[in-house]
C-alpha cells in the first residue's frame, strides 16, 4: 500500500515580469504547493511507504524544519511513529507547529544540523526506526518526479536549472530525474548561501553538505557552476518573487532567482527555478 497525501503535480508557472527583468524565459516550479508545503513530500511518500513495507515501527530524521514537517505528516498518515531531531533554536516556528499538529516527537539537540543528524542515526539504531533523511535513497527516488514533470510540461529540458543548495539531496534527485526523462542534463546552478552557518534562510542552514560530491558531479557533467549568494541578494530575490509574480515562498526558496540576478543565465535562455517551500513556513521574515 502506498502512503500518499497527494504530493507532486505542482504548478510550473511562467514569470513574465522577472523574465523581462533578467532577459530570459523564466519558469517557476512552485513546490510550496505540496501537501506540507515543500518539495520534501515527493520523497517522503516513497520513503515512508518503504519503511512501512519493511515493518518499521517509525521513522526519524534530522531537519531544519521541512523534512520534519513532511516526515511527521506521512508517518501519521501511515499510522507509524515519527521522531524529529532538530538543532535547538534553529527551526522556524510554523514548521514545528506542523510537526506537533500531527503528533510527532521532537528532540532538540544543541549544535548544528550535522550534530542533529548524528543524533538521529543513533536514535534510528536504538529504536529500529528508518532514517528518512536524503541519505535514504527512497527520498531521492521520490523527489526526482519533479524533473519528469518539468520535462513533460516544457516538452524538453530548459537551458538552465537553478535551485537552492543545502545538503544537495534535491540537486542529486533532479540530476537523476532529468537524466532519466531526457537522457541529458540542463545546466545546473545549485545556489548556496554565503553564510551557510547562520543565513536568514534557515532551511538551508547546513555547513557540511552531505551530497557535495554528487552536486559537483551534476555541475561538472552539465557545464554549470555552484553559485554563492549574499543575504541581501537572497532577500531581494525573495521579495521580488512575491511583489512581481505574486508567489510567496520561504526565503531559502529564492536562491535560484538570486543566482539569476547574479547572471547565471544568458539572454534568451529558457530557465527553470525551483521554489522549494511555501512562504507560510517562515512568515516572521516578512517586515510588518
Nearest-5° Cα angle at 165, 163 to 168: 110
**Which one of residues 66, 145, 191, 222 is an interface residue with ligand F0G (CB under 6 A)?**
66
Distance CA 119, CA 85 (A): 7
Residue 102, Cβ density class (10 Å: 0-12 exposed, 13-18 middle, ≥19 buried): middle
Task: Please report whether residue 203 would count as binding ligand F0G according to CB under 6 A.
Answer: yes
* CB 7 to ligand F0G: min, Å: 15
Task: Please report whether residue 253 would count as binding ligand F0G according to CB under 6 A.
Answer: yes
Size of residue set near ligand F0G by CB under 6 A? 24
Binding segment toward ligand F0G, per CB under 6 A, in 4-12, 102-110, 163-171, 218-226 = 163-171
Task: Please report whether residue 38 would count as binding ligand F0G according to CB under 6 A.
Answer: yes
**C-alpha dist (Å) from residue 212 to 152, 199, 250:** 28, 19, 23
Distance CA 82, CA 74 (A): 9
Task: Please report whether residue 192 would count as binding ligand F0G according to CB under 6 A.
Answer: no
Q: Pick the closer one to ligand F0G by CB: 167 or 186.
A: 167
Residue from 6, 7, 15, 13 nearest 29 by CA = 13
Task: Please report whether residue 41 would count as binding ligand F0G according to CB under 6 A.
Answer: no
Task: Please report whether residue 112 would count as binding ligand F0G according to CB under 6 A.
Answer: no
Which grid cell is 237?
530575490
**Interface residues with ligand F0G (CB under 6 A)?**
38, 40, 63-67, 134, 164-171, 203-204, 206, 250, 252-253, 276-277
Amino acid at each position: 500500500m502506498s502512503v500518499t497525501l497527494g504530493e507532486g503535480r505542482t504548478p510550473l508557472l511562467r514569470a513574465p515580469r522577472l523574465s523581462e527583468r533578467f532577459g530570459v524565459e523564466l519558469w517557476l516550479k512552485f513546490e510550496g504547493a505540496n501537501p506540507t508545503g515543500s518539495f520534501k513530500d515527493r520523497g517522503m511518500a516513497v520513503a515512508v511507504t518503504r519503511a512501512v513495507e519493511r515493518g518499521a515501527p517509525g521513522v526519524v530524521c534530522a531537519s531544519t524544519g521541512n523534512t520534519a514537517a513532511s516526515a511527521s505528516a506521512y508517518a501519521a498518515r501511515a499510522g507509524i511513529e515519527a521522531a524529529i531531531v532538530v538543532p535547538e533554536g534553529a527551526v522556524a516556528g510554523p514548521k514545528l507547529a506542523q510537526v506537533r499538529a500531527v503528533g510527532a516527537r521532537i528532540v532538540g539537540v544543541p549544535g548544528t544540523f550535522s550534530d542533529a543528524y548524528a543524533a538521529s542515526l543513533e536514535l534510528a539504531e536504538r529504536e529500529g526506526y528508518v532514517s528518512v533523511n536524503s541519505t535514504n535513497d527512497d527520498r531521492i527516488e521520490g523527489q526526482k518526479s519533479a524533473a519528469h514533470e518539468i520535462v513533460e510540461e516544457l516538452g524538453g529540458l530548459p537551458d538552465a536549472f537553478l535551485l537552492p543548495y543545502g545538503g544537495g539531496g534535491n540537486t542529486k534527485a533532479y540530476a537523476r530525474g532529468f537524466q532519466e526523462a531526457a537522457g541529458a542534463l540542463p545546466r545546473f546552478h545549485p545556489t548556496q548561501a554565503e553564510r551557510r552557518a547562520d543565513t536568514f534562510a534557515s532551511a538551508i542552514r547546513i555547513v557540511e553538505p552531505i551530497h557535495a560530491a554528487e552536486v559537483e558531479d551534476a555541475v561538472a557533467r552539465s557545464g554549470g557552476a555552484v553559485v554563492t549568494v549574499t543575504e541581501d541578494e537572497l532577500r531581494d530575490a525573495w521579495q521580488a518573487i512575491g511583489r512581481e509574480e505574486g508567489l510567496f515562498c520561504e526565503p531559502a526558496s529564492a536562491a535560484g532567482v538570486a543566482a539569476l540576478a547574479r547572471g547565471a543565465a544568458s539572454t534568451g535562455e529558457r530557465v527553470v527555478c525551483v521554489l522549494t517551500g511555501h512562504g507560510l513556513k517562515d512568515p516572521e521574515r516578512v517586515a510588518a
